[in-house]
Structure 1
Amino acid sequence: MTGALAVAEKVPEPLSKAKTNIVFATIVLGMLLAALDQTIVSTALPTIVADLGEAGRMAWVVTAYLLAEAVATALAGKLGDLFGRKLIFQLSALIFIVGSMIAGLANGMTLLIIARGIQGFGAGGLMVTAMALIADTIPLRQRGKYQGALGAVFGVTTVIGPTLGGLFTDHASWRWCFYVNVPVAVIMIAMAARTIPRMRAVVKPIIDYAGIGLVAAGVSCLILGLEWGGQEYPWGSPMIIGLFAAAVVLLATFVAVELQAREPMLPMGLFRSRVFTVCSILSFIVGFAMLGSMTYLPAYLQYVNGVSATVSGVRTLPLVVGLFVTSIISGQVVGQTGRYKYFPIVGTLVMALGLYLMSTMGRTTSVWLESLYMLVLGLGLGLTMQVLTIVVQNTVPYAQLGTATSGVAFFRTVGSAFGTAIFGTLYTDQIGPNLTDALMQVRVVSPEVAANPQSLRALPTEVSAPIIDAYADSIDHVFLWVVPVALAGFVVAWFLKEVPLRDSARAGATDVGEGFSMPEPSDRLVYLERAVSDTMRKARAEGPVAPRILADAGSDLSRGEAWALGQVYLHTRIRGAATLDAIAEVHKLPDEVIEPIYDRVIGRGFLTEDAGGLRLTDTGRAEVDRIRASWQRWLGARLDDWDCSDPADRALLDQALANIAAKILDEQAREQEVAHV
């Protein structure tokens, strides 16, 4: 509850359209950098391995980034409330710069993996604070448009990331995949310093440090055990057994801590909901299949098809196109019909088919067939990914809405880390013996040449064929073993319960940007404000809202008079005093424009004016209270399907509606009054 009250007490001054766009551009830069580096290295990985060696640790270049991002995602939102989101946004960018510089200068795989972890920590902070800053700085009724655009930016990075990485690798160096971040991030920090308003929570949040630390350590031990088992150490060695035992102990302790925490990172009570549990499992599987396949597809294309790093990025586009198409279509259908259950059922089955088809690819497979197989996998991912967040937002208690949504995103990120690590383990288990057998056949090729896709392309066909087949068989083995994971998702999807969708969720489902789920802040008010924004957008299509509100309130005020009283109420509440000059300055209006309306309400006895400024009379305060109550009734009737049967949840929603109603009164009436004048 404290998070909602803290934000509500900080109603920002309205920004001009130009300044709003500059703020948004700054936030987009942060999101772009963070999201881009999830995929930019995928096409560079074969060249990185050829340069630095240690092919068995290739997956950790991606996994380290994702794990650190998951931890930062859980932590950054609360730190933003504690120290201010602008500061955390800038500090996250600075951490991202440090990680990028170290990664670009790395002379070994160990240092590169550490640098990627630093990058990931900064990226998680950038992503979460980017979404929170939208809520802080963008006017409520415009917020849905900007958040949808930010989601689309996140989705587009999956297209340009691999291609951009390939361009740098082919025409400069793989190190420029990291160096390029530095000047962009410096510009972003400078822009943030000048444009983003400084806001800070009134009430300090409670941060679940123990829970975040335990889940990070537990998941890391589990992934390390899976990554090192059978490679660095035998499966039955004390190290591997110790890692798995440590993971079990740490994760069990995490559960115990979460059961006792005042504000847990992941409330265990959420798992009593079958819908949340099913969506979390499916989100894990989607992340597992998507990032794992996108990490190893460029390697397949470079080693087996002999294409350049740039072309390998372009050749993965069918997967992304399929994901885009079905994400958008499923969102539109869910928005129109409110039905969603069969999307993840069909999606996981199509995903399994795509993975199986990709496991049949080889040296003689045509480009068109490979593209078709990737398209099938992308179609399945898009059908499944879109609906999971929408479903969760419709089934959990309102007080847990933000936590549950960020929890599903957390499982997707952890699934991505597991997918990349397990893909890496399966690949390494196969490529070693397969490549050894191939080199034994040709004998004239050194391991260094075989590990370099550019050198491999230069060999005669009869010499390179056994080596290429070794790579094809190894990566096909990976895709084949992930088919059961997708089929497990197909079985799990049947247990997804279908419930009627709220109108706000259905409206959000039709936004293109909503198809690309991002790490999001766990602030409950952010989600409620998005729902209200969608409700307002739908209501405006039916005609002006303000006259209905005034009529319901039994008020004989004109819209202009209601706006004038609302301004005095808000200025007094936020700044302690209201003056004609201050109100005119905030709205970029000459005093003469709004002075007649204030003379009118003063004449009617709703306001008084003295040396201290404008003040509501008892009559004026009663009028404002009636209008605010009418706003609450209007919103409550349209958001009544939120699950707030618990008295504490209802109190939280009532408080949030009271705060939001004041904002909406300001924005809606101001626009109408200016048009009227």
Structure 2
Amino acid sequence: MTHRQIMEAMSGLMLALLVAILSSTIVSNALPRIIADLHGSQSQYTWVVTAMLLTSTASTPIWGKLSDLFSKKLLYQLAITIFTVGSVLGGFAQSMPMLIGFRAVQGIGMGGLQALIQVVIAAMVSPRERGRYSGYIGATFAVATVSGPLVGGLIVDTPWLGWRWCFWVTVPIAVIAFVVLGRTLKLPVVKRPVKIDWFGALFLVGGVSLLLVWVSLAGKQFAWASPETAAYVGGAVLALIVAVIIESRVADPIVPLRMFRSPTVTLATIGTVAVGTAMFGGAVFLGQYFQIARSFSPTTAGLMTLPMVGGLFVSSTISGQIISRRTGRIKPFLISGGILLVIGMGLLSTIDHETDLVLVGCYLAIMGIGVGSLMQNLVLAVQNTTDSKDMGSVTSVVTFFRTLGGSAGVSVLGAVLATRVSDYILAGLAGTPFAGKAGGAGGGSLDINALPEPVQVIVRAAYGDAIGDIFFVSACISVVTLLAVLFLKEVPLRTTIDSQSSREPVDNSAEAVDNKARSSASVASATNGSPQVEGLRTAVVDSSAEPVDNSVNNLSDAWSEPVLPRPYSTEGVQLSGSPSDDLNLHGTVTDSSGAAVADAVLTLTDASGRQVGRARTPADGRYRLNAPKSGTYVLIASGGSYQPTASMVVVGDRPVTHDVRMFGAGGVSGVVRAGSREISGAMVLLTDVRGEVVGSCATGARGHYVFGGLVGGTYALTVTADGFRPTASSVSVDDGEQVNFDIALQAGTTLSGIVRSAGLNGPVADARVTLLDTDGTVVAAAATDSEGGYTFTDLPDGAYTVIATGYPPVAASLRLAGEHIEHDVELGYPSAD
């Protein structure tokens, strides 16, 4: 796909992602008000977030596997539809259980949107270029994260709208995303037998769901050490064991276990789990901190998260551009992101209800920069080592574990927050008349305004202090991410959609090339009816092709860039032992005209890049190089003013003749003048017969220009300079020839003036001025401006006729012979008679 096609498809993907993130951020910032209106508790507050993350986590691997089997485009549109339906239903919720259920529906669609966007981009863009497009994902995430809380706060604070519009406002955007995606995203659908691992998906989702439910309820509904805990954990472990057994036996598993054989995948998965825990678990409670602990409105609370979003936006965008356009390396950004994440979380763990807001903003910015450097680049590291046939499954698995970490983080940190808030409130109320009115504290109502004023102060302080505690837990978890990326091995980003391992293996050994050459010779002999040639073919050098690096270090990257196949010919193969019975390579070095090239240096290297022979051609251009054994060699020829050439030659069991043709590195130089004056700063442009620009330069202080390294042929030399007419000339260059070509510029004359009214003695606006040459041909035409002025530029010297109309036409003849001529025109009124 071209860059334009990719950007058109990305517009649909970004709109869909915008809908998903916007819905999440709008609702997240409005949750304190929603919980208060629906009479929810801190536990239900956590479940509104957890329910969506739970279904999103459980469905992510299924979406990814389906994308390997069905149309990615249709699946993405289906995910948009499901998410939109959940959003609409969420706006009609009348109770907390209903809201949690509709959030679960949203989560199913969210799982598809999160997993499939990376899969679709991977199907369009190579890993080396994927960083710049992943930066767009980070930018979209940042825009949605910034605008979501602001829009959500505005909606909640507007009496005639209410919080229900937080769910409905994104529906039009979702419809637009659906339509745009249908029109722009065009991906091939790979047809292959479909076998969906339904049982594996059932036990995998069941096991993960049981674990998440247990984490959410333990410590609140029942004790951590209780029969309920044994039931939940035991059932989850049993379901996951069954899932692993099924996944290891089925042909198309939901989660290919073989991918964890790669250390890159394993470490990236561990790192992304910790990122999800730290990111979701820590950031989701910021709304409570700013609204409850610091008494800000929802709109202001959204503005307070701008430093975090700005850091995420900047780091994800800049890192993606640098990776794609400059270094091609992702590990430096992963390490720096891991360090900044630990530092940011550690600093946030020090905040309380009285911390200076400027410091809080700085801490959030550091955390945002760390998350932006890690989130997309961890996915990119995994995709770079994955075949296209497993891209959907592996990408979704990484997203699955990141969301799993977020789900577990929200649940665990929510439980920690509820406990710590309860402890702080009980400690604050001790010895006061309100002792005993904690009301469950962290698990009670979040309608703080309904509490007495002294109790409100204590509760707000409790929330502010408890938020710092959960960020300390997040900082400890983020250390795991840092350790994972430190041990992650740097793998160069490939420049193809598919990996080398997914292609048929290529044997580059000399014996394999020898066998292929013999087989090709036999086929050619049978086809042409000529006797079979027992020797090997010699490579014919394609001078238009780029040199190919055939060293051992680069054989593994043979598929990194498209290489045109080199044609082979049976001509020149020695069928007898002459001129020598030993293994050698010999021939003649000529230029493009067929003349022998003297003093050309020829170097013969083997497959490992070691030099095995070297020779210099005499006056007749002939050479001979001995080959130590049969095999594949690279012959390099250079010398004089000729361009170096390289060709691959296969030597079998007898001498091989290989003629080398060299193309001269000619040049063109000269001086740009105008009369006797040398023109500096003129732009000189050199183009070949196809119109391709070969080179460009500006003339020096004395009007001198130089072009070198030219292949013999005809070129167009164009010169432009301020105050002079452009000129183009044809120049021919032979191989190795240095051509001196001076260029003369002709000054272009400028004709200007003012058209006035003879009667009123004032300028005439919008008068038509036409310039004719001696043949009566219109050279130029213009309309006067508000001051009656007109101007014609770049006119050659000669005779012209100026005609002005607007009143009765007036014509005048004049001769141009200078750089600037002024000619005013007076228009008269018609006479009274």
Assess same fold via TM > 0.5: yes
Matches within 5 A, 1:15-164: 25-52=11-38, 53-79=40-66, 84-129=71-116, 149-150=136-137, 152-164=139-151
Matched, 1:489 2:481: yes
Deviation at 1:463, TM superposition (A): 5.4
Deviation at 1:180, TM superposition (A): 1.6
Kindly indicate whether the alpha-carbon contact (under 8 Å) linking 2:41 and 2:445 is maintained by their aligned counterparts in 1: no
Deviation at 1:86, TM superposition (A): 4.5
Kindly indicate whether the alpha-carbon contact (under 8 Å) linking 1:81 and 1:204 is maintained by their aligned counterparts in 2: no
Alignment-derived partner of residue 464 in structure 2? 472
Kindly indicate whether the alpha-carbon contact (under 8 Å) linking 1:78 and 1:206 is maintained by their aligned counterparts in 2: no
CA distance in 1 between partners of 2:260 and 2:129 (Å): 34
Deviation at 1:243, TM superposition (A): 0.6
Alignment-derived partner of residue 296 in structure 1? 285
Matched, 1:177 2:163: no
In structure 2, relative to structure 1, the CA distance for the partners of 1:476 and 1:453 (3 Å cut) is farther
CA distance in 2 between partners of 1:142 and 1:286 (Å): 24
In structure 2, relative to structure 1, the CA distance for the partners of 1:135 and 1:481 (3 Å cut) is closer
Kindly indicate whether the alpha-carbon contact (under 8 Å) linking 1:80 and 1:87 is maintained by their aligned counterparts in 2: no
Kindly indicate whether the alpha-carbon contact (under 8 Å) linking 1:258 and 1:266 is maintained by their aligned counterparts in 2: yes
Matches within 5 A, 1:117-516: 117-129=104-116, 149-150=136-137, 152-171=139-158, 172-189=161-178, 200-331=189-320, 334=323, 336-341=326-331, 343-395=333-385, 400=390, 402-438=392-428, 441=432, 443=434, 451=445, 455=449, 464-494=456-486, 496-504=487-495
Q: Deviation per CA, 1:614-634, whole angstroms, max 9, x where unpaired?
A: xxxxxxxxxxxx9xxx99x99
Q: How many residue pairs get matched?
A: 521
CA distance in 2 between partners of 1:198 and 1:345 (Å): 34
Q: Deviation per CA, 1:634-657, whole angstroms, max 9, x where unpaired?
A: 9999x978799xxxxx9xx99x99
Kindly indicate whether the alpha-carbon contact (under 8 Å) linking 2:267 and 2:485 is maintained by their aligned counterparts in 1: yes
| Structure with a larger share of its residues in strand | 2
In structure 2, relative to structure 1, the CA distance for the partners of 1:84 and 1:484 (3 Å cut) is closer
Kindly indicate whether the alpha-carbon contact (under 8 Å) linking 1:358 and 1:373 is maintained by their aligned counterparts in 2: yes
Kindly indicate whether the alpha-carbon contact (under 8 Å) linking 1:235 and 1:241 is maintained by their aligned counterparts in 2: no
TM-score, length basis structure 2: 0.54
SS at match of 1:203: coil
SS at match of 1:42: helix
TM-score, length basis structure 1: 0.66
Aligned residues: CA RMSD: 4.5
Task: Letter of the 1:114 partner, please give it.
Answer: G
CA distance in 2 between partners of 1:80 and 1:210 (Å): 18
Query: Structure 2: which 5+ residue stretches go unaligned?
Result: 504-539, 565-689, 694-833
CA distance in 2 between partners of 1:360 and 1:58 (Å): 24
Kindly indicate whether the alpha-carbon contact (under 8 Å) linking 2:425 and 2:438 is maintained by their aligned counterparts in 1: no
Structure number with larger C-alpha Rg: 2
Kindly indicate whether the alpha-carbon contact (under 8 Å) linking 1:303 and 1:453 is maintained by their aligned counterparts in 2: no
In structure 2, relative to structure 1, the CA distance for the partners of 1:657 and 1:118 (3 Å cut) is farther
CA distance in 2 between partners of 1:442 and 1:86 (Å): 63
Q: Deviation per CA, 1:186-212, whole angstroms, max 9, x where unpaired?
A: 454456667767975432433232333
Segment of structure 1 superposing worse, 222-231 or 130-139: 130-139
In structure 2, relative to structure 1, the CA distance for the partners of 1:463 and 1:55 (3 Å cut) is closer
Kindly indicate whether the alpha-carbon contact (under 8 Å) linking 1:287 and 1:414 is maintained by their aligned counterparts in 2: yes
Kindly indicate whether the alpha-carbon contact (under 8 Å) linking 2:386 and 2:499 is maintained by their aligned counterparts in 1: no
Deviation at 1:310, TM superposition (A): 1.2
SS at match of 1:202: coil
Kindly indicate whether the alpha-carbon contact (under 8 Å) linking 1:100 and 1:116 is maintained by their aligned counterparts in 2: yes
In structure 2, relative to structure 1, the CA distance for the partners of 1:374 and 1:140 (3 Å cut) is closer
SS at match of 2:29: coil
Task: Letter of the 1:359 partner, please give it.
Answer: S
The structure, 1 or 2, with the larger RCO (C-alpha pairs under 8 Å, 6+ apart) is 1
Kindly indicate whether the alpha-carbon contact (under 8 Å) linking 1:302 and 1:453 is maintained by their aligned counterparts in 2: no
In structure 2, relative to structure 1, the CA distance for the partners of 1:442 and 1:452 (3 Å cut) is farther
CA distance in 2 between partners of 1:235 and 1:225 (Å): 9
Query: Structure 1: which 5+ residue stretches go unaligned?
Result: 1-11, 505-524, 533-625, 645-649, 659-672
Kindly indicate whether the alpha-carbon contact (under 8 Å) linking 1:401 and 1:527 is maintained by their aligned counterparts in 2: no
In structure 2, relative to structure 1, the CA distance for the partners of 1:501 and 1:146 (3 Å cut) is closer
In structure 2, relative to structure 1, the CA distance for the partners of 1:287 and 1:636 (3 Å cut) is farther
Deviation at 1:121, TM superposition (A): 0.9
Deviation at 1:102, TM superposition (A): 2.2
Q: Deviation per CA, 1:16-54, whole angstroms, max 9, x where unpaired?
A: x7x997765444332221232333322112112212212
CA distance in 2 between partners of 1:209 and 1:675 (Å): 57
Kindly indicate whether the alpha-carbon contact (under 8 Å) linking 1:266 and 1:407 is maintained by their aligned counterparts in 2: yes
Task: Letter of the 2:50 partner, please give it.
Answer: T
Kindly indicate whether the alpha-carbon contact (under 8 Å) linking 2:141 and 2:313 is maintained by their aligned counterparts in 1: no
Task: Letter of the 1:236 partner, please give it.
Answer: A
CA distance in 2 between partners of 1:354 and 1:308 (Å): 25
Kindly indicate whether the alpha-carbon contact (under 8 Å) linking 2:119 and 2:392 is maintained by their aligned counterparts in 1: no
Deviation at 1:345, TM superposition (A): 4.1
CA distance in 2 between partners of 1:140 and 1:295 (Å): 31
SS at match of 1:302: helix
In structure 2, relative to structure 1, the CA distance for the partners of 1:453 and 1:283 (3 Å cut) is same
Task: Letter of the 1:480 partner, please give it.
Answer: F
Alignment-derived partner of residue 622 in structure 1? none
In structure 2, relative to structure 1, the CA distance for the partners of 1:216 and 1:643 (3 Å cut) is farther
In structure 2, relative to structure 1, the CA distance for the partners of 1:502 and 1:425 (3 Å cut) is same
